[in-house]
Structure 1
Amino acid sequence: MSDTIDAAVKSLNEKLDGKDFNGTAKFVIEGEGAIMVDDAGARAGDDEADVTLTADAETFQSILEGDLDPTAAFMTGKLSVDGDMGMAMQLGSALS
């Protein structure tokens, strides 16, 4: 597992602490690996998910740091979403 994935898992767990997320999401960080998010939190993994969000490491880092809104990243083509768009919006709200 890469340092990028380790750092992202830690950051996601901090952001999602105490927030409800009903479903499964997968973040694919190009060239680094994948992170699963469900009601138990975030962890490294590449399982099936209700929604898959794909971005490069720089875009993902900007979203986690709050410098880039997930919706803006999607609208500008920096973040691709495959699957349940409602769940992607729910996750985007939790990360803001």
Structure 2
Amino acid sequence: MTMVYKERTFFGTDPGDAAANQPADLETRVADTLAAMRDIEASDVSVVSRGNTIVLSGFIGSPEEADRAVEAARSVEGVDEVVNQLTIPDMRT
């Protein structure tokens, strides 16, 4: 008896390719990129994917950090656009 194995597919595509294109994967890759940056405090930054658009929201320390976070998110493969909804807390008391 001979066994014939079919190539694994997920709705016609390779399972690895299908998973790589999921919004959660894109969110994770952007969040990991931000977390790895030493010059950004991104612990209060939320990353949400809407297709290939990334929305950054939450709190960040300065306008310069916000700019670096947006550029870092743009650099992630698969990101077409970044929407900056980051808030810089008012440090005045």
Mark yes or no: TM-score above 0.5. Answer: no
- Give the alignment's TM-score, normalised by structure 2: 0.32
Which structure dedicates a bigger proportion of its chain to helix? 1
**Bigger CA radius of gyration:** 2
- Give the alignment's TM-score, normalised by structure 1: 0.31
